[in-house]
Structure formats: C-alpha cells, structure tokens
C-alpha cells in the first residue's frame, strides 16, 4: 500500500515538468550564456570578442559608478522596505478602525499599485519639474523659492525611494490589514482588563502577532526595491551623471550605451548573488523570529 503510494507520488513529479522546461529554455540557458559573456570583452553586438577571464569582475570592484549604484540599490531596497512597512502598518491600523468611507480610502491607497511603474514615473515628472512642476506651484503659492528637485543626485535617490514606496504601500497595507483581522479580539479584551495602555498593546500584542504578515510584506518589498528599474528610467534616467542608477539601470547603461556587454553581464551576476544573499538573510532572520514566538 505504502509502496503503491510512493510510486504514484513519483509520477506526480511530472506535473512540474512544463514549468521546468520553460525555465530551462528562457532562464537557465540565457543565464549560463550570461556567465560566459561576463568573462569576455564583448561590446554587445559585434561578431568578434576576446575571452578575458575574470578581469571584468576585478574591474567592477574598483568602478566608482558600480559602487554608487550598489549603495543606491541598498537604499532603494532597504529604504522602500522600511517606509512601506512602517507606513503600511500605520495605514492598516488606521483603516482597521470602523468609520464611514473606509472602503473608499483603502481603494484609493491601493489604486497606484495597479499603475505601471513606468507610467507612474512619467506622472511624477509633472510633480518634480522645475519650471511648471506641481510641487513648485505649491511652493510659489506659499511664496517660497522654487526647488529643482531632481538636480541633486542624493536627494533624487530618496525621491525615487519615496515614489516607489508610496506607489506600492497599498500591498503592505492590505497584508497588514489581513494580519490585524486574524488577531483574536480576546487578546485585546484581556489586555483591557489588565489596564494595559494602547501603545503597549500595540508593542506586545499586535506587533508579535503580525510577524508572519511582516515576513511576507518585507520579502515582497525588499526584492521589488532591489530590482527597481522602470521608475528610475522614467524619472531620472539614472542621472544626473550616474548618481541615481540602481544596479539594474547601470547594467542597462553599460550594456547598451557604454557598449560593454561583457562587463555589464558581470555586474548582473554579482547583483543576482547580492540579491540572493540579502533576501535570504532577511527572510531567515524574520522566520526565526516567527518560530520563537
């Protein structure tokens, strides 16, 4: 009986064959080819190129633009994660209360999630533009001097982080709303009887019980932030200079604009390893916490 079930079980492995075929064809094969290209000086189109071993990898650690993009990628990833989750929890707590129009507000917050990040980037152009931008119009109304928002790379990195966070905060909010609704009301009732303050209730009941939701939300935000691409292309193009590039946009610029496809492939692989490590550490850390509770 058990044996029959075992063999039957093995045949169900066939169920994932179609998926694996697709992966092999459209992911693994190009990925392996990318590893090969990362060891060449290929310019991205020409027929002839040389194999140069690990020189690309050596160079990228000395490359100022790569370092900058690396730091930016961390900011996009970590910054978005922190902002989205803090704001997401706040919004969830606020919108978990009962009041009229609650559904409408939730809908409005979720709405930007549906918009292509590329289009959101273009819309933001109308806000941050210097001469006619919507933000400078507000400053003018308050008789303040207009600001050239995107002229300073350091500020632009944070603007991009904020745009990305606000666009996708709806996802975190929904996850946390669900988490809140899963917390049994008896815990709060018990706390009320013990006379515990609201802030302590939040810290000692709500937060710990939200841990699974936090894990989901953080993982989603982190990977999304680390791979940030469309909105940068639409809003700053990675400029001024190379100041707001993420690793993704830098790869794109090196690959095509700089005609250094081999080098860009090397950065791509390093980026892949980097995202793997960061998200694994974070996810592991969060899951451990869940277990301890």
Partner 1 sequence: MKKVFTVVIAVLMCASVVFAQAAAEENPTISVWVSGAGSQVEVLKAACEDFTAETGIKVEFSAPGDTYEEMMKTKMASNDLPDVFDTHGWAVVRYSDYLMPVNDMAFYKNISSQIIPTVSKDGKTYVLPFDMDLTGIVYNVDVMNEAGVDVDKIKTWADFEAACEKIKAIGKTPVTLGGSSGVTVGWYYDRVAPSFYYTDETNSKAADLKSGKFDPKPWEEISAMLDRWVSKGYLNADCVTGDFMGDITAISTAKAGFDFIQNVAITMGRANVNPDGNMGMMPIPSKSASDEPSLISGEGVALGIWKDTKHKAAAEKLLNYLAQPEVAAKVCTATGNVPALTNVKVDLGVLQQYIDKYSDVEAFNYFDRAYCPSGMWDVMCATGQDVLAQKSGAVAESAKQMKSTFDALWGN
Partner 2 sequence: MRKANTVLRTIAIIAILAVFLAPFWILTTISFKPSTDTSSYWLLSSTPTLNNIKAAIEKAGIFGAIGRTALITVCVVVLEVIVSAFAAYPLARRSTRFNKVVQAFILGIMMVPPLSILVSLYSIIVSIHGVNQYWAVILVLLTYQLPQGIFLYANFIRSIPVALDEAATIDGCGPGRTFFLVIMPQLKPVTATVAILSSVNCWNDFQFSRYILQTSRMNTVTLSISSFFSQTYIDLSTATACALIAILPVVICFLVLQKYFIQGMIDSSVK
Residues that bind partner 1 (CB under 8 A): 41, 43-47, 128-131, 148-153, 236-243, 253, 255-261
Cβ proximity to partner 2, 17 vs 186, nearer residue: 17
Cβ proximity to partner 2, 23 vs 154, nearer residue: 23
Distance CA(279)–CA(287), nearest Å, equals: 12
Cβ proximity to partner 2, 115 vs 154, nearer residue: 115
Residue 116 binds which entry of partner 1, partner 2, none, CB below 5-8 Å type-dependent: partner 2
Distance CA(217)–CA(206), nearest Å, equals: 16
Residue 154 binds which entry of partner 2, partner 1, none, CB below 5-8 Å type-dependent: none
What is the C-alpha end-to-end distance of the chain, expressed in Å?
Answer: 39
Phi, psi of 37 (to 5 degrees): -60, -30
Residue 128 binds which entry of partner 2, partner 1, none, CB below 5-8 Å type-dependent: partner 1
- Nearest to 43, CA basis, from 285, 278, 263, 238: 263
List all residues 6 or more positions away from 271 whose beta carbon is below 8 Å from its beta carbon.
73, 247, 248, 251
Phi, psi of 40 (to 5 degrees): -125, 170
DSSP 37-93: HTTB---SS-S---B-TTHHHHHHHH-HHHHHHHHHHHIIIIIHHHHHHHHHHHHHH
Smallest separation (angstroms) from partner 2 to the CB of 193: 20
Residue 198 binds which entry of partner 1, partner 2, none, CB below 5-8 Å type-dependent: none
Smallest separation (angstroms) from partner 1 to the CB of 256: 4
Our measurement of the distance from residue 290's CA atom to the centroid of its chain's CA atoms, rounded to an integer in Å, reads 22
Burial of 180 (0-12, 13-18, 19+ CB in 10 A): middle
Q: Which residues of 120-133 are buried (b: 16+ CB within 10 A; e: fewer)?
A: bbebbeebbbeeeb
Burial of 112 (0-12, 13-18, 19+ CB in 10 A): middle
Cβ proximity to partner 1, 162 vs 191, nearer residue: 162
Residue 150 binds which entry of partner 2, partner 1, none, CB below 5-8 Å type-dependent: partner 1
Smallest separation (angstroms) from partner 2 to the CB of 107: 6
Residue 127 binds which entry of partner 2, partner 1, none, CB below 5-8 Å type-dependent: partner 2
Smallest separation (angstroms) from partner 1 to the CB of 198: 45
Smallest separation (angstroms) from partner 1 to the CB of 243: 8
Cβ proximity to partner 1, 59 vs 216, nearer residue: 59
The token pair at 185 is 């009301």
Smallest separation (angstroms) from partner 2 to the CB of 168: 11
Cβ proximity to partner 2, 149 vs 154, nearer residue: 149
Smallest separation (angstroms) from partner 2 to the CB of 2: 11
DSSP H or E run through 129: none
Residue 91 binds which entry of partner 2, partner 1, none, CB below 5-8 Å type-dependent: partner 2
Cβ proximity to partner 2, 11 vs 199, nearer residue: 11
């Amino acid at each position: 009986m058990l044996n029959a079930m075992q063999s039957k079980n093995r045949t169900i492995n066939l169920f994932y064959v179609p998926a694996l075929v697709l992966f092999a064809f459209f992911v693994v094969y190009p990925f392996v080819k990318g590893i090969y290209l990362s060891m060449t000086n290929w310019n991205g189109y020409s027929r002839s190129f040389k194999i140069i071993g690990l020189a690309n990898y050596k160079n990228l650690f000395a490359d100022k633009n790569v370092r900058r993009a690396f730091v930016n990628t961390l900011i996009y990833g970590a910054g978005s994660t922190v902002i989205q989750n803090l704001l997401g929890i706040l919004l969830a707590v606020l919108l978990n209360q009962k009041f009229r129009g609650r559904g409408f507000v939730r809908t409005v917050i979720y709405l930007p999630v549906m918009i292509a990040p590329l289009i959101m980037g273009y819309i933001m152009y109308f806000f941050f533009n210097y001469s006619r931008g919507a933000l400078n119009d507000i400053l003018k109304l308050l008789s303040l001097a207009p600001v050239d928002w995107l002229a300073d790379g350091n500020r632009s990195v944070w603007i991009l982080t904020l745009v990305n966070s606000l666009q996708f905060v709806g996802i975190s909010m929904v996850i946390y709303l669900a988490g809140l609704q899963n917390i049994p009301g008896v815990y709060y009732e018990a706390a009320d009887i013990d006379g515990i303050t609201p802030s302590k209730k939040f810290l000692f009941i709500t937060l710990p019980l939200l841990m699974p939701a936090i894990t989901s939300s953080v993982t989603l935000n982190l990977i999304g932030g680390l791979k940030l691409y469309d909105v940068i292309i639409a809003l700053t193009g990675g400029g001024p200079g190379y100041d707001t590039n993420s690793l993704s946009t830098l790869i794109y610029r090196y690959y095509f604009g700089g005609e250094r496809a081999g080098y860009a492939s090397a950065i791509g692989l390093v980026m892949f390893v980097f995202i793997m490590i960061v998200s694994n550490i974070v996810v592991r850390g969060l899951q451990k916490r869940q277990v301890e509770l």
